Amino acid sequence: MASIVSDGVSNFARLLADANAEALSGSTVTALGRDEQPILNGVPYRVFRQSIDLCERRREGIFFSGPDLAREVAGLLHAKMPVGGLALDPTCGIGDLLLAYAEHLPIEATLEATVDSWGRQLAGIEKRAELAAMARARLVVLARARGRFVEPVARIDGCFPAIIVGNMFEESERIAQADGLLFNPPFGQTSDHTVSDWGTGQLSASALCLDSLVAKRAPAAPIAAVLPEVLRCGTRYARFRTRLADAGLGGHFASRGRFDAWTNVDVFTTLLESGVSYLWQLPAIVSATVGNRFTVRVGSVVPHRHADEGRWYRFACAKTVPAWSTGFVPETGRRFQGTTHVPPFVVVRRTSSPGDRKRAVGAIILGDSPVAVENHLIVLTPNDGRFESCAELLAVLARDATTDYLNRVIRCRHLTTSSVMGIPWVATDE
Ligand SMILES: C[S@@+](CC[C@H](N)C(=O)[O-])C[C@H]1O[C@@H](n2cnc3c(N)ncnc32)[C@H](O)[C@@H]1O
């Protein structure tokens, strides 16, 4: 492994052999995080670029997402997926999108069980066999690194059986089985097609691939994608956009600028879903937020640091406040000398992961005297002092749209006051 990093070996086949060895025996992975691990970070793409000339990569559209874009796209899809659902990337390359999606999947008791379980939730199609093999090896390495597993694996070729070498245009059945799709297709131009109703002549391969994917997918399967801006803005693709809208697909978009240094293509990310009435509009500017109506602070009591001294107060802590309570009066108390809060107010648990069903779990605190609050809770005091405002806030926090918003803005495992202040204030489901 050290050789790859230190002498920049420009041989993808050799790197693949190393990746397989790493996946089988795991000599170094467990000591390294995801982004320092050569097989998991930019090294495979770098070695691949050194191995295949740019003209061929442009002709075949072989440019990989990289971790930042991949995590954004995977996050968009994961927020919409059923637990245990099957995510498929029909042009998976070395698996950047699949790896980013696998970061959301749970670790099982053993490496074998983890690979087995991920193998039932991850599928891919890739034209080039060496890229599909690298995707499979990297996923095993990721499972090792995340689970800190050291046990060997008997055979790598049995792992991730749903990542196959193939042509997405010929894989209707496989695509129809997916609950959701990750998508970063080739971006180049091609006249090798039979389309006539929405375009003629040279067309972007990405449009042809997307068109085929839309036709083959299960009707409810969302598509989280990186696509070239020309599909969204180009007049040549107006009929293509109408075709997507007519197929009942819609979704917001976010422009992401130039894809990378080699492609010279501007891209956007999007989540396409059935039954959304607008296609590629900007999210509405949100003027009303939780922060306009509530003062948002972190609780001040750090139990192991603050001495039990000062005035006696009722004490709210993450362990004792019942989730979604509409009126909890803390029975236990403690002495405290710092900031306290006058009910009614809402507390939200700070610990919150992108995989949680609800990201902002709240409860209303009532009582007739100030309350000391543990620092594992965020305190939201209504500016108008009314209980009714707290009840409305609880409804806002429980909305799926609030969880979606938090999943977009805060990927780590703790909510921040600014992420909570930015929650859009829309009390009823639209
Ligand atoms: C732009 S890359 C994206 C790879 C990966 N999805 C990512 O985001 O890093 C597109 C990949 O699709 C593969 N590809 C191109 N046409 C394909 C087809 N018809 N079926 C399956 N794979 C294809 C290419 O070999 C390339 O690896």
Q: For residue 427, tell me if it sits in a domain.
A: no
User: Cα of 127 to ligand 1 centre, how many Å?
Assistant: 7
**Bridge partner list, 365:** 328, 345
Q: Are residues 42 and 87 in the same domain?
A: yes
CATH number at residue 133: 3.40.50.150
Q: Which atom of ligand 1 is nearest to the CA of 226?
A: 8
Q: Are residues 189 and 233 in the same domain?
A: yes
User: Cα of 63 to ligand 1 centre, how many Å?
Assistant: 8
List, chain by chain if needed, residues with CB within 6 Å of any ligand 1 atom: 60-65, 89, 91-93, 96-97, 125-128, 131, 167-169, 184-186
Q: For residue 141, tell me if it sits in a domain.
A: yes
Q: Are residues 228 and 339 in the same domain?
A: no
DSSP 308: S
Q: Are residues 195 and 309 in the same domain?
A: no
Q: Are residues 42 and 180 in the same domain?
A: yes
Q: Are residues 266 and 322 in the same domain?
A: no
User: Cα of 92 to ligand 1 centre, how many Å?
Assistant: 5
Please state, in angstroms and rounded to a whole number, the distance separating the CA atoms of residues 151 and 27: 10
Please state, in angstroms and rounded to a whole number, the distance separating the CA atoms of residues 88 and 105: 14
Q: Which atom of ligand 1 is nearest to the CA of 182?
A: 6
Mean pLDDT along residues 216-233 = 95
Over the stretch 147-179, which tens digit does the pLDDT of each residue have? 989 888 888 888 999 999 999 999 999 999 999
Q: For residue 281, tell me if it sits in a domain.
A: no
Give how many domains the chain has, as a whole number: 2
Nearest CA, atom 14, ligand 1: 91
Nearest CA, atom 20, ligand 1: 167
Q: Are residues 51 and 18 in the same domain?
A: yes
What pTM was estimated for this model as a whole? Answer: 0.68
Radius of gyration of the chain (CA): 25
Q: Which atom of ligand 1 is nearest to the CA of 168?
A: 20
Q: Are residues 263 and 316 in the same domain?
A: no
Nearest CA, atom 26, ligand 1: 62
216, 241, 274 - which closes a domain: 274
DSSP 28: S
Q: Which domain holds residue 386?
A: 290-421
Confidence band (pLDDT; 50, 70, 90) for 5?
very low
Over the stretch 242-280, which tens digit does the pLDDT of each residue have? 999 999 999 988 888 888 877 778 899 999 999 888 898
Q: Are residues 49 and 111 in the same domain?
A: yes
Q: Are residues 302 and 343 in the same domain?
A: yes
Confidence band (pLDDT; 50, 70, 90) for 130?
very high
Residue 299 confidence (pLDDT) above 80: yes
Nearest CA, atom 18, ligand 1: 167
Residue 42 confidence (pLDDT) above 90: no
Classify residue 254 as exposed, middle or buried by CB count within 10 Å of its CB (0-12, 13-18, 19+): middle
Tokens of 99: 């790896």
Q: For residue 2, tell me if it sits in a domain.
A: no
Residue 295 confidence (pLDDT) above 50: yes
User: Cα of 125 to ligand 1 centre, how many Å?
Assistant: 8
Q: Which atom of ligand 1 is nearest to the CA of 128?
A: 25
CATH number at residue 417: 3.90.220.20
Q: For residue 1, tell me if it sits in a domain.
A: no
Q: For residue 151, tell me if it sits in a domain.
A: yes
Residue 357 confidence (pLDDT) above 60: yes
Q: Are residues 247 and 379 in the same domain?
A: no
